[in-house]
Amino acid sequence: MVYIRAKKVKSDNYLYLVKSVWDSKKNTSKQEIVKYLGKASEVINDDIPVEYRNDPKILSVLTLHNPKDISKREESTKKSKQTLYKKLIDGDIQSSVKIYEEYIKIFSPGDFFDKILRPVMSKIGEDWANNTISIATEHVASNVAQTLVKIIMDKVTGNSNKKKILICVPLGEEHHLGCDVLETYLSIKGFKVYNMGTSIPTESILSFIEYNKPDIVLVSITLEDNISAGQRLVKKIKEQYDIPILVGGFAFQEEKIHKFDAKVIHDVNLDEIPKILRAA
């Protein structure tokens, strides 16, 4: 059985999708968290995993926590995704920035990346693979998206004494939009971020670790073909440095089992990443 559990922190409710699992040793059932959904007032139907999205009990709980706003929020999110898609493939950076600025008047920057930019870029990739859009259009959209993330990054000011995070990719991985999104979001949250999200030799990454002493390394992998290179990178880092390593990215969306000497992060919301970093 899967259901939503609410936890109150101060004056706000936060929702979790949980399931009951039978513990044969203790002869009782226990709860396991399927997914952290976020602040109750901001959760929409798209936040629910597809396999549970049409469950009447799930929908009922969402409506209970958001009786007035949920339909309006879902419509706003849907409209923002449709508009951003068009502006990105048109190469319109000014309008793309405006969509972001309007969206965060209601939602958080993390919501923009999770609920708007990520699904839009996924659709652009699917449309290119299906020959719905050309490779030239896909490149234009990707470049505008990367510029958008950098503009958002420029709006982030101030530093804190939180952990230093190194974001990098294995040799051969040419996709770095995810790294740019992580850099922006974690900087907003006050982390000191080193973004090496371009394909460079492993020795260069090791030298950077030696001289800059990051607290945690995040390895981003977009294409499944680059997982082997990611495993080699993690192994090299572990051989020389005793440092926590987290591995994630689009290559891990299907939750296949890949052996890493590191913690593998599957499909999680950006809001969960700071908690994972603090626990690392």
Are 142 and 53 in a shared domain? no
- pLDDT for position 123: 92
In a domain, residue 206? The reply is yes
Q: Are residues 78 and 61 in the same domain?
A: no
Residue 242 lies in a domain: yes
pLDDT at residue 70 in the model: 59
Q: Is residue 159 part of a domain?
A: no
> Is 275 found in the same domain as 169?
yes
User: 42 with 83, same domain?
Assistant: no
251: domain CATH number?
Answer: 3.40.50.280
Q: Does residue 58 or residue 17 have the better pLDDT?
A: 17
Of 15, 46, 65, the position where a domain reaches its end is 65
Same domain, 61 and 97: no
**In the predicted model, what is the mean pLDDT of residues 114-119?**
89
More confident residue, 12 or 204: 204
Residue 69 pLDDT level (bands cut at 50, 70, 90) = low
By the 8 A CB rule, do 20 and 1 touch?
yes
At which of 124, 154, 184 does a domain end?
Answer: 154
Answer yes or no: do 203 and 264 share one domain.
yes
The C-alpha atoms of residue 226 and residue 210 are separated, in whole angstroms, by 24
Lowest mean pLDDT among 59-63, 77-81, 128-132, 171-175: 59-63
Range with top average pLDDT, 55-64, 131-140, 143-152, 194-203: 131-140
Is 193 inside any structural domain? yes
Q: What percent of the chain has pLDDT over 90?
A: 27
Give the CATH number of the domain where residue 81 resides: 1.10.1240.10
Do 209 and 117 have their domain in common? no
- Residues 124, 40, single domain; the answer is no
Position 166 scores a pLDDT of 93
Q: Are residues 184 and 99 in the same domain?
A: no
Please tell me the total count of domains within the chain: 3
Mean pLDDT of the chain: 84
Q: Are residues 206 and 271 in the same domain?
A: yes
Q: How many CA atoms lie within 13 A of 206 on its CB side?
A: 15
Co-location of 57 and 76 in the same domain = no
As a whole number, mean pLDDT of residues 96-120 equals: 86
- Clarify whether residues 20 and 79 are in a common domain: no
CA 235 to chain centre: 24
| SS3 readout for the chain | CEEEEEEEECCEEEEEEEEEEEECCCCEEEEEEEEEEEEHHHCCHHHCCHHHCCCHHHHHHHHHHCCCCHHHHHHHHHHHHHHHHHHHHHCCHHHHHHHHHHHCCCCCHHHHHHHHHHHHHHHHHHHHHCCCCCHHHHHHHHHHHHHHHHHHHHCCCCCCCCCEEEEECCCCCCCCHHHHHHHHHHHHCCCEEEEECCCCCHHHHHHHHHHHCCCEEEEECCCHHHHHHHHHHHHHHHHHCCCCEEEECHHHCCCCCCCCCCEECCCCCHHHHHHHHHHC
Assigned domain for 191 exists: yes
Mind listing the pLDDT tens digit for each residue in 141-172? 988 898 888 888 777 655 455 789 999 999 98
- The residue segments making up the domain with residue 114 are 70-154
Which of 126, 154, 182 is the last residue before a domain boundary?
Answer: 154
